[in-house]
Structure formats: structure tokens, C-alpha cells
Amino acid sequence: MIKWIKFSLFTCSIFLSISLFAQEGTPLITNFTFGETSIDNESWAMAQDKEGHMMFANRRGIVSFDGIKWNTILTPNVPLSLFYDDNSNQIFVGCKNNIGVLIKGLDGVYKYASLVLGNRSVGNVEQVTSLNGNIYFYSSEYVTSFSLETKKIKQWSANSGEPFTGFFTNKTEVYVNVAKLGVHILKENGKTPLKGGEELFDDRIVFFFKYNKSQVLFGTSSNNLYLFTGSKLHHFKIESDGYINENILAGGINIDKNSFVLSTVTGGCLVIDKATKETTYTINYQTGLPDDEIYSMGLDQNYGLWLLHEYGMSRVDLKIPIRNVNHYPGLEGNLTSIINIDSTVYISTSEGVYYLSEVKNYGEIEVLVKRDAIVKERKKADEFKETKKEFVPLQNEDLALENEKKKVKIWNKIFKKRKKKRKSKTERKAERKAERKEEKEEAVEEVKPEIEEKVEKIEEVIKVIPQAKPINEYEFKKMYALQSISHKYTKILGIEGKAKQFLHYKDILLVAANTGLYQVSKFEASKIIKNKYINFIAQSKNDLNKFYIGTNSGLLILKNINDKWVVEDKISDFKENIYSVLELDKNNLWVGSENIAYNILFDNSGYPVRIKPYPFKTDFTERILVRSVFNIPYFFLSTGLYSYNKKKDSIVFNSKVNKGFTGQSKYIFSQKNITWVFNEHKWVSLHEQSKYANLPEEFLELFDNISNIYVDNKRNMWIIDNNNSIYKILNVKKDYKEIFDVYLDFVIGKGGFLLPKNNLELDYDNNSLRFNISAPYFVKSNAINFKYYIDGLKNGWSDWRNDHYIDLPYLPNGDFVLHIKARNILGKETAVKTFAFIISAPFYKKWWFYILCLIGVVVLFWGVIRLREKQSKREQKLLEEKIATRTEQLEKEKQISEELLLNILPKETAEELKKYGKAKARNHKFASVMFTDFKGFTFLAETLSSVDLVREIDFCFSKFDDIIEKYQVEKIKTIGDAYMCAAGVPTKNSFNPILITLAGLEIAQFMKKHIADRKKKNQPYFELRIGVHTGPLIAGVVGKKKFAYDVWGDTVNIAARLESSGEVGMVNVSEATYQSIKEYFDCEFRGEVKAKNKGKIAMYFVKRIKKDYSTDKKGEIPSLVFREQINLQ
């Protein structure tokens, strides 16, 4: 009996808080896990630096996060606590037996710096705070202070057997709780007991925070809250004391002057209103948190509440006007649409229609939990069997022991290694669901008596109760559910199948479903149209009692006459699948079907007089959705918007309306007079009424794959996304200033080295830079865009981009200023930040180089003067100088004549011809001949003018001349578009096959580049074939006039055949040549190819110089060793 009375009293206290939850739901929760798989997701402390980067204490060190990227800062020991000091703008770290501070270097990278030297012990630092210019580090063994001014350390030690069991500060003093003694004030030379502090002699202080300017609130391991005024401790009672006692107090943090947060070990956290001491929000697993066990909490610059748990961290945004109303129980099926009528929310799903209602009594919760348990049991019938467990109440000692085990659970996770392999998140989630299912089923089985009967007898029985006993465990679990749930979804009976659309008419809700048309009145449903697949309902704008019903087999007209429904089927022959309906006027109707729209004209009796189709040409089948936008019919397709052209009597693509839309679009038609269009990753509304102006549309960017949007009469927006979640965007004014800024994190130079961010100046050889930038924002992960421009290099801003870095692979010399800014997912842009840097000029652009040049000019001028002086002295010998000049002219003319002769003949042949008047033909047993020829020359010659043709051939052959001269190859002659040269003549050279092959490869490379240049200019080009053969030949000069050096023999003919049998761009060589070059070149055997008048000849393509003899990857440039071996200078 006592148990039931206590249970009922506790229930009553909880009921007082239910109304506070209202219908607003819970704040927006964003979950994060570490991006690096090597980092454990568990963290137990956090802080935020002045630039907005979040810091988390982790088993691997300290992990920083800016909303996009994660970075790890190494620490000597496991970090346990973090604290950001506003005065010094530094983050202080408490570790296992070490304390330190994070210092950011000139390169922008944080490093841990220890504040203790040698083997000085500081204990396992659980808390860090600041007071009066000192940083205090608390552990159960020591309180250690660090002076920001003097950088000195001071320490207070706990006595043996009397460890510290808590720590807090107010405006002036530092206090510690001492085991067996109570609260003491830390003094310069010791500790002084606080009057009244002995009350906590056997308790432990688990957290504290400044409640207001003069008071401190702290919580203890016995789940009690105290308010400290500076001289006295006061018990602090809140509405949810029972919830705190059940779920074990773990931490607390102040939000602002109006609210604070308490976290628990097994029940998430509570947001408490300071004025009423009532719970504003319960945030736990049931309301969207990944886990109920909260390791630590923190607050960022934008009042985002961070909760650290086993699966990472969650950010609860208490300021953004978005509420999640999906966590209330009762919904089943996939969500399709939503409507709010007279503050009642209706949801349509694939399983029917539900409405959201307030939970008013415990019996209602019990039935609800029981029904959910049955549903889950049916869904997992193969996994679980129905069981009943006999309940054994915990005794006082057992309960205390159990609570103590839960309290130390967090620290056990920090200090002890896991003995079991960690399970996956899916497995852990399934286990928790199974456990909660069993707990709920136990509660339902055990709690059978009627609560009302117990409440009636409370006043009588309570008088005789000497002392309250602990509440049984199953009752605690029931309280957990009751505290978390203020509303539930109730199914409206009578609606079968999948509900698709709502339409509000008078006090009736019309529901379109795949099984017919229904009406809902006072939460009761009845059928209007049976056994029809209803796609769409449209209310007539000329007769509000008339409705057009689009079905999968035609169009029906529904009228309400004296509260009775009448269905008219005046278009019985029209059997199309109708997805949309638009009434222009009483007798003019547009309907949308699949790939076709129809215009239906009616007579005054309501019968159709014309049904005209307007087909759409699309790549795939589309549902044509017709809507009115400013009284003009528009047809919405995934490829864009179309409109009706009355003059042409056709439906055309409206390029003006589609301006700004690219790719495919998505549309939502959940209400009259407003259409939602999704294009280019953004939602925009098309509306005709002022009540839809200035909606908070920017918040839609936070949701992925929105399937439905509804705007209620208070201009609140209701969202359904493809994750089957429901959100409410409140139409309220922003009451806080959001902090959002962009920063340059660090600069990476050539070779991957970090560079200083200030006064950066680089030499010309190190002109490659990468700038890493950040704009910490955490409403949604990876939701920041950046843009930039650089003074002195780039005019105008870049496009918005997701990359958090700027790569500049090549920078000229000069002074530059980088301008950066960021934009968050809600469209807010930061102020522009600048960063100046300098790339030094190369030496030939330095001032000292110009001075040297000036000195050189002066020296040259002085030399000229001296020369003029000498020339004046030579005037006396004018005659001798004239003779010498004339003689010199004759010598030059002779030299010119000899050069002309050498251009025609080889030097040896020319010398012989000058000496003897003729030159003998010589037999060369080992020489090589190369032929080149342009493919399709005749055809291309017809497309070019004679001037361009000669210019192109001259350009190519001149380049050939330069190339063969490098490789000691003798030009023989050109015949039209053919070019002939030989190596090993007239001077013998045992390396002539190698030299002529090198020349051939370089000619092929030149032509490849030349062709590419011509292609870029869209100009015709020649393609070249090259053939080389090695063998005996005769070389010499014949005739008396117009001397020409020439070669004869079968070697020449075979070389010509190799050229004609080759392929464009390839050097084709014979077997003889291949045997002489194979040591130095990679060749491809082509087989024996039939050649004109020569039968079959073994041929090879020369691919490249072998790797051992080349200096480049392509094998085009001979190495120095190779050159020396073939005597090539």
C-alpha cells in the first residue's frame, strides 16, 4: 500500500510538468562523430576557443572541430578536463597527473605545453576554472593554481585518508569539500572550514556553475542541488527532483539568465527554467539523443548545448526556432502529409491518419506504452519471445550500491581499458530497444491496479505512513517514460490504406487515400467515396461546396448539399489517371495526367462540351502537375515550368519563369495558393497571398530530402523529410545575435611545410601556397561555403565553394592580399577577412641587379671612349687601314662563296672540288639513309594557297635541317614533299645508324608538337612517315654545272620503301638498322612487310630510347653517358 501511495504521489508531481512541454516538441539536435576512424568517439570534456573551434578531450588527445574537419592535438597523458579562460583567451587542460595549456604557434597550429616541471604530482585533474587571474586545477589529491601574471604554481594537498570530494568557486573564494569534514575555504597557507559546510561531509560535489552574479549552484553525488550565497548553503528544489533521483545527477551547466541544464547518467538531460524551477525540455534517447548517459556538457558561442556521450557528441540548438515533434509515440507507417487545424496536428501516413494530442493521465500513457510494446513484439516475433519476470524490490542498501556503481561508470570508462570488443552502433541500439521493451512489458504486467482508486485514498493513508520507502525499479522506468512524453499520436479509426492528401472544409477534414475519399469530424472518420484510388482533391474557387476529385480512373465532382455528399460522374467516358486539377473559372478546368494535360470546358449544366489534350514530349513518363500562379495556369515538370500560350493555343516552356532553374526540379503542393520549388539545392515558394511573404524559408536548408511542407495560420512551417521525421519551424523573431566568422587556420608552402601567417614573405622559388580556412558553425555538419579573391592576381570574387582550402600552385612575384569570406547554410555571410603576403622578385628584377647593369653600361661607355681615342691615333695610318679593310672584304666574299658551296656539298667534297676541279664518287660499305614524306600531301596542297604551302614546307624542312645537323647527318636533297638525308657519308662514322635514328625520333617529336599547335588553331597539317635503312651505297658529285651531292644504291631504294611502308608519326627501320641500334632503343617488330619491288622486308618501329640511356620518362632525350658512347657532343 505504501509503495502505491508513493508511486501515485510521484506520478502527480510529474503530471504538473507535462503542460510545459506543450506542442513545440524538442529543439533541433545535430549529432557528430569523429571524422577519423582511428579516434575513439567517446569524449569527456569540451571547450571552445576564441575563433569558435570546438575542443574535445579524448583518449587520443584533444580533438578540434570547425564543423568540417577534425584535427588531433597530442597530449603527454590522457586529457580529462578543458577550460577556456576569457581573460587570457587560452584553453587550459587537466590531464592524468599533468596540467597544461594549448598554445597556437605562428603557423596557426595548436600544441600542448605542460605547466609543471619534473615529477611534480597534480593527480587526475577532473575540473579546471579561473578566479582573480589564477587558473585552478582540481583533483581528489591536489588543488593546483597557476598565476597568469607570474606563471608560478601553488598547490594545496589533501591529507591522508581525507581526499577532496568536490570543488567550486564564487566571486572571491575557492572552496573544496573534504571527505569526513565537509566544505573548506582555501587560504594562502591552508584550509578553513566553512560554517554549515559539514552537511556535505559524506557527499561528493559533482559539478558547479555560477547561477547568477552572486550565487553558485552545485550538485552532489546524493542527487541533491545546493545554492551557495557566499556564506550559507541552501537546498535547491526543482520540479524534476524525482527524475534526477531516478537517473542519477551527473553534471550541470548554466545557459543564460533564464535557464540551466542538468545531465544524468541514465536519463539524458533536463533544461530547467530558473524562474519557475520547471523543466522546459527533456532531452534523452526517447526525444532524439543517441544515448542517455551524458559524460559532459558545454555551451558554444551561439548557445548551442553540446552533450558528450558514448557515440560522439550532440549539439542541441536552444535558439534556432526549430522543434522536432516526431519523437512522440503512436505514429506508424511512412509519413505523407501534415495539416494543423485549430491547433490540432494531423498526420497522414501509409497506415492511415493520426492526430497529436496531449497525454492527460497515467492510464493513457500505460495503454500507449502497452500498445507500442505489442506492436514491437509483433514486428520482432521471430527475435523475441513473450516473457514474464518476477519483480524483486531493491532494498535500501542494494539501491545505494547500484546508484554508486552508476555514478562511477563514466570515470571507469576513462581510466580502464575495455575488456570486451566494442559492439557496433546498430547492435547497441538494438540492445537498448530490447531492454526498454522488456522494461515496458514488465511495467505493464506489474502495474495492474487502477491509479484513480489509489489517488482517492491518498489523503487518508498518508497520515499513517511513518517513513517513505524507495520506489521500486519498474516504477522508475515508468516515470522515465512519463517525464519524457507529453503528447502522443492517436490513430483515427475507419481510414484504411495509405492516406495521401488533406483538405480542410468547414469543420471537416477531407482525406484522399488509395482506398477512397474520407471525411474526419471530431476525430471520427467515415467514407465518402469507396473503392477508388484518390490522387488529388481540389476545392472549387467559385463554389466552395464543390470539389474536384482526381482518381486513377477519371475525374469525379463532389458536392456538399445540405451537409450531404453527392458524387457526380458527368465525364464517365474520361478514364485518365488524374494527378492535379485547376479551376480557372466555373466552366474552364485544367487537369494533369501522365505526359498530357487536358483542358475541359463545361456548359452551364456542368457537362463537358470539349476535352482537348495537350501532350508533353519528355524522355520519361511524368505526372503533369497544374497550378495557378497569379491566375495563370502553370504546368510543373521535373525539367521546368510550362505555361499556356493563349494565342498559339499551346503549352510552351516558359524561359522567363525558369530563369535561374537548372537541371531537374522537385515540387510540393500541400496547400492552396503556395507552391514549393526545389532547384539547385534550395527551396523557394511561389505564392499569391501576403501571409506567405517573409516565411523563415532559410531554415529549410537544414533538412535533406523534404517530402512535405505545410504553413499553418500562425505562419509556422511544418516539415516532413524522407527520414520519416516531423519538424516545426516557428515563425518567431530572432532574439539573439549569432556569432559567425571566417578565419585563416594555417598556410602550407611548397613541400608541405607550415608557414607563419603573419608577415609572410617568400622567395620566387617557393611561390606555391595552400591556405586552409575555417568558419566554425555547427547547426549542420559540412554546411559552410567559402569564396575569395586576391588583390594583385585575380579580379572579382570566386564562386561559392565547399572546399575549405585555396590552392595557388603558381604565384608571380608581387605584393598580394587574400580576401576571404564564408556563408553558412542559413545564408548568413561573414565579414571579409584579409591576409597579406609577398612573393619576392627573382634576382634579375632586384634593385641591386639594376645597379650592376648600370655599372656595366658605365664601364662599356668608358671603354668606347678609350676605343675612340685609339682610333684617333690610327688616323695617321689611314692608307694602311683602307688596304686592310679592302683585303678583309675580299676575304669575307671568299668566305661567303665557300659557305655557299658548303651548303650545296659536304666539306670534304667541296675541298676536293676546289682543289681538283672535280670530285670522285666513293663507295661507302656502311652508311644509313633516311627518307621522310608527308602523307596526303597532294590533297592538303589543294586546300592551301601556294604561299602557305611553300611557307609550311619551308618551316618543316628548315627544322629538319637543324635537327640532322645536331646528329652529324648529311642532307642529300628534297624532292617535292620528300626529304632525304644520310649518315656515315662523306665521313665514315660507325655510329651512323644510331645517329640517324636519334634524328628521326626528334623529327617525329617535332612534327607531333607542330601538328598539335596547328590543330589548336584549326589549321590543316601534314602527317609524316619516316623510313631508315643501313647498308652500302655510293656517294659523290656528278655533272659539270649545278653541282649536287647525291647517293646511289639499293640501300637508298630500300630506305624509300621503308618510308612508304611506315605509319604516320613512327620511325620505321629495317632489320639491318635494327641490329645496329637495338642496344640503345626500344623497338617493336612489325613482321615482314611487303614492299614495292622488294618483296617482304622485316621492319621495326622505334618506340623510344631505352630507360638506361635517356633522361626523361618518355625516352626522347639521350643521356650524357649515351652521348659519350656515340661521340655526340
Neighbours of 945 (CB within 10 A): 9
Above 80 in pLDDT, residue 391?
no
pLDDT reading at 445 higher than 70: no
Best-predicted range by mean pLDDT (17-21, 691-695, 912-916): 691-695
Rounded to an integer, what distance in angstroms lies between the CA atom of residue 766 and that of residue 753? Answer: 11
Name, in order, each residue with C-beta under 8 angstroms of 753's C-beta and a sequence gap of 6 or more: none
Confidence at residue 724, expressed as pLDDT on a 0 to 100 scale: 83
For the segment 1052-1058, the average pLDDT, to the nearest whole number, is: 93
Among candidates 770, 773, 774, which has minimal Cα distance to 747? 770
pLDDT for 453 equals 46
Cell numbers given for 480 = 522515465
- Candidates 13, 57, 15; CA nearest to 34 is 57
Q: Which three cell numbers stand for residue 907?
A: 666539306
- Phi and psi at 488, nearest 5°, equal -145, 160
Cα–Cα distance for residue pair 35/46, rounded to 1 Å? 17
Q: Where are the domains of the chain?
A: 358-478, 511-690, 743-845, 847-899, 915-1125
Facing residues of 72 across strands? 63
Residue 461 has pLDDT above 60, yes or no: no
Q: What is the DSSP string of 683-734?
A: EEEEESSGGGTT--GGGGGG-SSEEEEEE-TT--EEEEETTS-EEEE-----
How large is the angle between the packed helices 473-484 and 362-379, nearest 10 degrees? 100
pLDDT of res. 912: 67
Instruction: Please state, in angstroms and as integers, the Cα–Cα distance from residue 394 to each residue in 398, 469, 471, following that order.
Output: 6, 11, 9
First to last CA, the chain: 112
Whole-angstrom Cα distance, residue 260 to residue 281? 11
Residue 1 has pLDDT above 50, yes or no: no
pLDDT score of 16: 38
Q: What is the pLDDT of residues 639-687, one digit of tens each?
A: 788 888 888 889 988 777 777 666 567 888 888 878 888 877 788 888 7
How many C-beta atoms surround the C-beta of residue 752 within 10 A?
7
564-568 β-sheet, strand order: 534-539, 546-551, 554-561, 564-568
Cis peptide before 842 (omega within 30 of 0): no
Q: What is the pLDDT of residue 384?
A: 36
Q: Indicate the SS3 state at residue 624.
A: coil
Q: What's the DSSP call for residue 124?
A: B
Considering the four listed CATH numbers 2.60.40.350, 1.10.3720.10, 2.60.40.10, 3.90.1420.10, the one that applies to the domain covering 743-845 is 2.60.40.10
Q: Which residues of 622-634 are buried (b: 16+ CB within 10 A; e: fewer)?
A: bbbbbbbbeeebb
H or E stretch including 1071?
A: helix 1071-1077
Residue with cell 599547335: 1013
pLDDT in tens, 802-845: 888 898 888 888 888 999 999 998 888 999 999 998 888 887 77
For the chain, the average pLDDT equals 83
Helix (H) or strand (E) holding 907: helix 907-916
- The CATH number assigned to the domain with range 915-1125 reads 3.30.70.1230
897 pLDDT band (50/70/90 cuts)?
Answer: low
Grid coordinates belonging to 316: 542541441
- The DSSP 8-state label assigned to residue 796 in this structure reads S
For domain 511-690, the CATH superfamily is: YVTN repeat-like/Quinoprotein amine dehydrogenase (2.130.10.10)
Q: Please list, in sequence order, all residues whose beta carbon lies within 8 angstroms of the beta carbon of residue 701, skipping any fewer than 6 positions away.
A: 681, 682, 683, 783, 825, 826, 827
Instruction: Tell me what percent of the residues of the chain surpass a pLDDT of 70.
Output: 82
CB 994, CB 1126: distance < 8 Å: yes
Q: What is the 3-state secondary structure (H, E, C) of 208-272?
A: EEECCCCCEEEEECCCCEEEECCCCEEECCCCCHHHHHHHCEEEEEECCCCEEEEEECCCCEEEE
Is 766 buried (19+), middle (13-18) or exposed (0-12) by CB count in 10 A? middle
List the alpha helices (DSSP H) in 380-517. Answer: 396-407, 409-415, 425-446, 451-456, 458-462, 473-484
* 871: Cα separation from own chain's centroid: 79
Q: Residue 124: pLDDT above 50?
A: yes
Residues 1054 and 928: their CA atoms lie apart, in Å, by 11
Closest CA to 127 of 177, 88, 179: 177
Residue 540 CA to residue 546 CA, distance in Å, equals 5
Contact 651, 626 (CB under 8 A): no
In this predicted structure, the answer to whether residue 39 has a pLDDT above a threshold of 70 is: no
Q: Is 85 helix (H, G, I), strand (E, B) or coil?
A: strand
